Structure 1
């Protein structure tokens, strides 16, 4: 008989690698293939947000990722060679997350780090291996692959398509990928830069001539440039080079480019498939949704897809939960992706619009508005929550229930900044757990011990109240750190009922 894997992953970008890591960490048999000969060699996606770092902490990776990247503590907006606005993430995010910054970590380095961790779990990416097709059956997916040794047929309980915007998995499913392409042509370049903006922060020029953003990712001047190219500068009879990029915006930032290591042009797309689950086949990352680079959300969203799906696959594969649990991957992540595509579309349209009125709003009104709004604490916090993905919630999910204090089922667990014990420390595991801030009843303690559900009790502090948590309430946390159930009464029967409702048998004793 053919060996049957639990999960076959097609695509070894960050989304596929994180999915493999989380599955392997949970004891799931995983196989990951990629048609390329090796990991990427260019920076591509460079932004890692706070919520992703929080999730990496559960794998014990956050510190290593931060040490490997460049902490960018703020964003600066420039117009005509002058800094017009400055946003400091530390001011906005200190009370919200252990990671109040944007980390710039080039994708090629990011992938190599993920691969190294995966290999420590005895899982290796099978390179130069292409998915040719697949057939779904009642209890497995039969997949045809072509690798260095020729063609083979293998079986897996589930197939995950993490194979990019041109996803062969999505194409074979016949799934639509509705959306469009923006008119503007953009460029991306990895450069060695010097000058005041090469200071470890993010700099954005909103000049009416060009849009330009600079992201430093090392202290010795390595940086990413992203910029727009106006139609009148595009020559149809030859390939563009960095020399063709307007110097006006670059000079406006005061950046001197000493060396260009990579340069490419591209069009920006915004597309979304109609379902992320198709029986035993799932779509994740760019295979399911692509959007503008505004806010650096793409890779982080794909990683979020992977983590959302991984714990649910493990539960079903290990017999802890019914198959219908997997439907929540589709509903939870599709709703977020739809909102994200709409939001980034509006932002991208604003920063790239041409014309006199658009230029006036972007260069005169926007910097003043941002500077004024950012002085208001509530606005500052909202902006950071939005960009960092700490605002993401699953309120409408069938897996979300109850409320206690300001926390609802579906919320990300609030971080209690300044508490004596870090309430994020216990989330360094990939499993369900219960948090109580104050006193846990004997009945709750006894029941959690009986069913093998981890219970963490924190002495009540003002930091917990400030975070919106309720005293003596029970917060049931999913393996991905989101609140599944918030019960102000902290009743074991309430938690037991919750698990029965979602078809999760493991903790119904």
Structure 2
């Protein structure tokens, strides 16, 4: 019996397959499409995604291929009102202190290539038709490329099959939320006339919204905006020539070529349950929201990472099945907060009326202009959109506090002369970090139980990052702190493992 069947080969499903394969889990990934997408709406790869991609050897290739945008420009009624320089907003916070614009279609091809290099190929034109769960596994019926059907049994089923998820529908899980009234378009264009040409531009007008993201070469840009008035009623038949936005026209943007154009509606929904027994929902199958902040694809990839190491620990008998409950608890709570946040931002950006216009054209630009001059404000903006401030402090897997670092926090990043403290995380293994000096008892215990221990010489930078000297930090495979103990005590580790019922630390025979 295969370990995990993944339905859906978008970024979420591909990332899940990559991490599971890295952790030694046998996977099968199917998709009903004939090939990877040729167009994409998702454009931004956030810093937290890149941090986790280091485990897979993907961070370097993504950064090398991406367009790194140093600033965001805000325009209202054709006037430049604010510029937020993001080039150093994340400095000292992450190895990737920038916004990486990397279209989803290129992103998917990169993931497919790396997965194939690991010996796993996507099974195309293969559709999940039905499934049923038993105590020992999930019986799945697949429709193969030749039209025949195949019955297989797997230990777990992961629904990464998008907003119209077959897995979610057959589970009967609610998908509460709504749909924005506006119709939006997305276009891949070659354009110029707007400076600086290599930066992000957001234009707000009376009810209008436009976002321009440069990427690649030859003036290639991704343009996203609203479809106004009666044209929205015939959105399915529109072409780019039919779009006449005040927000674009007043910018002086000259579009020379349109490579592709599409219209769509934006939804904001979160699944009622992310897990039912041996079946899981991830990515757009579990949550969809506005494109504000470039969060959607990144959130799905983080879903995949969160679930992958937990499935691996359970399948390898290092943890009880109840560990899988924490996937839904951690990721669903974040998805609900994210949907609520992006909904407020998106509603403001696209709303119409005198009050909304006044806020967008007067109050918002003044606020953004002021905030752009404050390092703390720019840092907060970067931490928010990059998902580096995401934490799981309320998770049943999180315990303790040492210094300013709590159980459930992302491990603070510190760069040293010989590398950074994220280097050991590349293994994707449970491990202990001590900044300063580890006790002999802790060193002996970790050696005896084959739990990797990394002791880093104390520096002022560790204090600035919030660490406590000589404290013990037990890290999960995803780089979040599971346990923080200021005394660096072996007893704290033993109590933690006992309470979780896990054997992540294996005594040497």
Which TM-score band applies after superposition, normalised by the shorter structure? Answer: over 0.9
* Deviation of the 1:200 alpha carbon: 2.2
Where does structure 2 lack aligned partners over 5 or more consecutive residues?
none
1:421 equivalenced with 2:419 (yes/no): yes
Structure 1 window deviating more from structure 2 (190-199 vs 75-84): it is: 190-199
* Deviation of the 1:422 alpha carbon: 0.8
Once residues 457 and 118 of structure 1 are traced to their aligned partners in structure 2, the CA distance between those partners, rounded to angstroms, is: 33
Corresponding residue number in structure 1 for 2:109:
112
1:139 equivalenced with 2:131 (yes/no): no
Per-residue CA deviation, residues 416-442 of structure 1 (Å, 9 max, x unaligned), is 145653111111111111111111111
Per-residue CA deviation, residues 70-117 of structure 1 (Å, 9 max, x unaligned), is 111221101222221111222321021111111111111000000000
* Deviation of the 1:59 alpha carbon: 1.2
| Aligned residues of 1:419 and 1:463 also touching (Cα < 8 A) | no
Once residues 447 and 486 of structure 2 are traced to their aligned partners in structure 1, the CA distance between those partners, rounded to angstroms, is: 20
- 1:190-201 map, 5 Å: 190-197=188-195, 199-201=197-199
Once residues 345 and 291 of structure 1 are traced to their aligned partners in structure 2, the CA distance between those partners, rounded to angstroms, is: 7
Where does structure 1 lack aligned partners over 5 or more consecutive residues?
none
Once residues 237 and 483 of structure 1 are traced to their aligned partners in structure 2, the CA distance between those partners, rounded to angstroms, is: 47
Once residues 180 and 195 of structure 1 are traced to their aligned partners in structure 2, the CA distance between those partners, rounded to angstroms, is: 37
| Aligned residues of 1:199 and 1:216 also touching (Cα < 8 A) | yes
Once residues 255 and 451 of structure 1 are traced to their aligned partners in structure 2, the CA distance between those partners, rounded to angstroms, is: 63
Once residues 97 and 176 of structure 2 are traced to their aligned partners in structure 1, the CA distance between those partners, rounded to angstroms, is: 35
| Aligned residues of 1:191 and 1:260 also touching (Cα < 8 A) | yes
- 1:87-486 map, 5 Å: 87-149=84-146, 150-197=148-195, 199-208=197-206, 210-234=208-232, 236=234, 239-417=237-415, 420-486=418-484
Once residues 324 and 335 of structure 1 are traced to their aligned partners in structure 2, the CA distance between those partners, rounded to angstroms, is: 18
Structure 1 SS opposite 2:113 = helix
TM-score w.r.t. structure 1 length?
A: 0.97
Structure 2 SS opposite 1:296 = coil
Structure 1 window deviating more from structure 2 (53-62 vs 9-18): it is: 53-62
Corresponding residue number in structure 2 for 1:67:
64
Once residues 116 and 470 of structure 1 are traced to their aligned partners in structure 2, the CA distance between those partners, rounded to angstroms, is: 42
- 1:44-55 map, 5 Å: 44-55=41-52
Structure 1 window deviating more from structure 2 (209-218 vs 418-427): it is: 418-427
* Deviation of the 1:207 alpha carbon: 1.8
**Pair 318,80 (structure 1): closer, same or farther in 2 beyond 3 Å:** same
Corresponding residue number in structure 2 for 1:31:
28
**Pair 419,359 (structure 1): closer, same or farther in 2 beyond 3 Å:** farther
Per-residue CA deviation, residues 327-374 of structure 1 (Å, 9 max, x unaligned), is 000100010001001001100111001011101110111011011123
TM-score w.r.t. structure 2 length?
A: 0.97
Structure 1 window deviating more from structure 2 (26-35 vs 416-425): it is: 416-425
Corresponding residue number in structure 1 for 2:12:
15
Aligned Cα root-mean-square deviation (Å): 1.4
Once residues 353 and 347 of structure 1 are traced to their aligned partners in structure 2, the CA distance between those partners, rounded to angstroms, is: 10
| Aligned residues of 1:275 and 1:330 also touching (Cα < 8 A) | yes
**Pair 237,415 (structure 1): closer, same or farther in 2 beyond 3 Å:** closer
Structure 1 SS opposite 2:183 = strand
Count of paired positions = 506
Once residues 425 and 5 of structure 2 are traced to their aligned partners in structure 1, the CA distance between those partners, rounded to angstroms, is: 27
* Deviation of the 1:376 alpha carbon: 2.6
Corresponding residue number in structure 1 for 2:74:
77
Structure 2 SS opposite 1:234 = helix
Structure 2 SS opposite 1:58 = helix
Once residues 98 and 410 of structure 1 are traced to their aligned partners in structure 2, the CA distance between those partners, rounded to angstroms, is: 20
Per-residue CA deviation, residues 361-414 of structure 1 (Å, 9 max, x unaligned), is 101110110111232332222111111101100010000010011100000000
